[in-house]
């Protein structure tokens, strides 16, 4: 079989230029393309590996070449699919960190409008696509593109149309996209590039700085336009410092699993196709006599051997028990390196839920997901700030960057009973704002919108109670039950004031 490919993460692309302009953008792209091509080659290999195109398929044998099974046990897909699903088991949510807008409602919320536009632009699917590329190849990109001015009508009132998002979201293929960073201490992004290739391999690059958009053809000719966003629209989402995919560190282990499994199938087939050796038996001198001998052998299923003759099969039997032990060991090593739970550990035990989480590796999975979430949030913050600034200019939103938080509402180990208890306690505390109770109880995927819905319901109930008390006062009918009396006492100051 082919050797495992050496993979060590993706290389960051830097430039020494202090500023990228129309005069030097073609040279910057030409220099960056050399590093990107090496990254793209590794990304293409990892993407093909995820889809099952693995080195075992190129396996060649020196002996018994007719028995050459090529078994792909696609653990790479298992690892990436688990990591993506675990990280984004619920959609990423934007939460209100200010929590002081007492007059805010679901209809007048600027944050609610931003979230609605994100939904209409398909951000949930976009998040999954970003997480997928992160997991497979170690980096991903997201691009925000303004819609044409004629496609969007800025809202005249506070209530906005959910379907009227002023932007589109794209997740460009990382094999054809990269970001160039400054080689100076800040390492700030200098240029975002995505390109297309025609059938002849000629590239047309579309490059973006904070101020300009460049189109660079295969001959280095540059066309320049203004960038209405005021920011580089392509944001990179690196998967850690080394920009490694989730299964990338264990590719040699996964290749070894494929080799062992293929050899096990070969071993079974070699037993079935074992060679029959006849010693001291005359099967005839002519072709007709030999044919008659084998015909009788197939008919009777046995041999009548003369004294001193022997018959037996030549076969190499593979110890399947030891092979399974080796496969389990390799698989367990891969899971530990990747920080994944082991589905085969701890059957039929009486451990508590917390013990199972620790023993089976779920705590390691959560630790890795938390680390990935931290890296994801840093890039998401860059993207979110750019989206807020654009929506402020194009659609009249009034959001500050620091007022919007990013939340990954994973609910893998939630204890709903304890969460409800915590929620009730937080709501009954005078020092905790109600919206903070919604946010910290871990009960709601979108605590901000749930708070607005609950606030609207609560305000409606209070209004109905006040109206009922006023109506009772006008008719002279007083509520005689405890609940009615309590409502009357609560509403009396308001009624008196009115």
The per-residue pLDDT for range 223-280, each reduced to its tens digit, is 999 998 999 999 999 999 999 999 999 999 999 999 998 888 877 776 655 566 666 6
Highest mean pLDDT among 66-80, 234-248, 294-308, 476-490: 234-248
Lowest mean pLDDT among 30-44, 46-60, 196-210, 434-448: 434-448
Q: Say if residue 447's pLDDT is above 70.
A: yes
pLDDT band at 77 (very low <50, low <70, confident <90, very high): very high
Lowest mean pLDDT among 50-64, 324-338, 347-361: 347-361
pLDDT band at 471 (very low <50, low <70, confident <90, very high): confident
CB atoms within 10 A of CB 352: 9
pLDDT at 482: 46
pLDDT at 92: 87
pLDDT at 172: 95
Percentage of the chain modeled with pLDDT above 70: 76
Cβ atoms 491, 466 nearer than 8 A: yes
Cα gap 306→325, rounded to integer Å: 44
Q: Say if residue 485's pLDDT is above 80.
A: no
Mean pLDDT of 326-342: 88
- With residue 311 as reference, give the H or E element that holds it: strand 310-314
Cα gap 177→174, rounded to integer Å: 5
Cα angle vertex 51, ends 50, 54, to 5°?
Answer: 75
Q: Is 214 helix (H, G, I), strand (E, B) or coil?
A: strand
> What pLDDT digit, counting tens, does each position of 126-144 carry?
999 999 999 999 999 999 9
pLDDT at 322: 78
Lowest mean pLDDT among 224-228, 258-262, 382-386, 415-419: 415-419
Mean pLDDT of 373-401: 90
Phi-psi region at 201: left, alpha or beta (left = phi > 0; alpha = psi -120 to 50): left
Cα gap 17→312, rounded to integer Å: 77
- Closest Cα to residue 57, out of 264, 193, 259? 259
Cα gap 95→456, rounded to integer Å: 18
Mean pLDDT of 346-368: 62
Q: Say if residue 68's pLDDT is above 70.
A: yes
Cα gap 215→206, rounded to integer Å: 5
pTM of the complete model:
0.76
pLDDT at 178: 97
- Closest Cα to residue 120, out of 428, 395, 477? 395
CB atoms within 10 A of CB 431: 6
Cα gap 261→74, rounded to integer Å: 12
Cα gap 453→463, rounded to integer Å: 15
pLDDT band at 318 (very low <50, low <70, confident <90, very high): low
Mean pLDDT of 5-34: 94
Task: Give the chain's count of helices (H) and strands (E).
Answer: 13, 13
Q: Say if residue 154's pLDDT is above 80.
A: no
CA dist 365 → 245, 297, 359, 412 (Å): 15, 60, 12, 11
Which has more pLDDT, 3 or 241? Answer: 241
| Domain positions in the chain | 251-354
- Reading the block at residue 318, the tokens are 């593979």
Which has more pLDDT, 334 or 289? Answer: 334
Q: Say if residue 380's pLDDT is above 80.
A: yes
- Reading the block at residue 498, the tokens are 């009115």
pLDDT band at 62 (very low <50, low <70, confident <90, very high): confident
Cβ atoms 283, 296 nearer than 8 A: no
Buried b (16+ CB within 10 A) or exposed e, 28-39: bbebbbebbeeb
Q: Say if residue 359's pLDDT is above 80.
A: no
pLDDT at 9: 92
């Amino acid at each position: 079989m082919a050797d495992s490919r050496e993979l060590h993460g993706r290389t960051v692309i830097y430039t020494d230029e202090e500023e990228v302009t129309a005069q030097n953008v073609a040279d910057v792209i030409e220099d960056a393309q050399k590093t990107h091509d090496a990254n793209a080659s590794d990304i293409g290999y990892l993407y093909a590996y995820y889809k099952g195109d693995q080195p075992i398929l190129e396996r060649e044998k020196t002996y018994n070449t007719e028995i050459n099974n090529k078994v792909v046990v696609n653990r790479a897909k298992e690892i990436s699919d688990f990591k993506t699903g675990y990280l984004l088991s619920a959609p990423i949510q934007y939460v209100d960190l200010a929590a002081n807008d007492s007059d805010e409602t679901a209809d007048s919320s600027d944050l609610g409008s931003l979230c609605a536009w994100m939904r209409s632009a398909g951000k949930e699917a976009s998040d999954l696509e970003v997480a997928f590329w992160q997991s497979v190849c170690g980096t991903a990109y997201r691009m925000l593109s303004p819609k044409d001015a004629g496609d969007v009508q800025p809202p005249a009132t506070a209530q906005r149309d959910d379907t009227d998002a002023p932007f589109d979201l794209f997740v460009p293929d990382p094999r054809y996209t990269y970001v160039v960073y400054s080689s100076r201490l800040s390492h700030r992004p200098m240029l975002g590039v995505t390109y297309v290739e025609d059938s002849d391999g000629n590239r047309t690059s579309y490059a973006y700085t904070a101020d300009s958009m460049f189109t660079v053809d295969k001959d280095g000719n540059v066309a320049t336009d203004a960038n209405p966003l005021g920011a580089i629209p392509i944001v990179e989402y690196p998967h850690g410092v080394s920009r490694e995919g989730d299964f990338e560190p264990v590719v040699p282990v996964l290749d070894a699993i494929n080799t062992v499994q293929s050899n096990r199938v070969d071993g079974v087939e070699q037993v079935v196709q074992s060679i029959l050796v006849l010693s001291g038996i005359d099967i005839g001198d002519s072709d007709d006599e030999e044919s008659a001998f084998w015909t009788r052998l197939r008919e009777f299923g046995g041999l009548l051997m003369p004294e001193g003759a022997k018959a037996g099969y030549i076969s190499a039997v593979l110890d399947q028990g030891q092979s399974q032990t080796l496969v389990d060991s390799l698989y367990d090593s891969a899971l530990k390196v990747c920080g994944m739970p082991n589905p085969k550990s701890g059957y039929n035990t009486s451990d508590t839920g917390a013990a199972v989480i620790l023993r089976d590796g779920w705590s390691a999975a959560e630790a890795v997901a938390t680390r990935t979430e931290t890296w994801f949030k840093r890039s998401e913050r860059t993207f979110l700030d750019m989206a807020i600034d654009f929506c402020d200019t194009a659609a009249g939103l009034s959001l500050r960057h620091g007022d919007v938080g990013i939340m990954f509402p994973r609910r893998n180990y939630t204890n709903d009973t304890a969460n409800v208890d915590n929620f009730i306690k937080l709501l009954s505390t005078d020092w905790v704002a109600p919206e903070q109770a919604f946010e910290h109880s871990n009960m709601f995927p979108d605590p901000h919108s749930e708070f607005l819905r609950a606030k609207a319901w609560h305000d409606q109930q209070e209004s109905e109670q006040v109206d009922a008390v006023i109506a009772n006062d006008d008719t002279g009918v007083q509520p005689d039950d405890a609940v009615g009396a309590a409502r009357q006492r609560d509403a009396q100051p308001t009624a008196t004031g009115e």
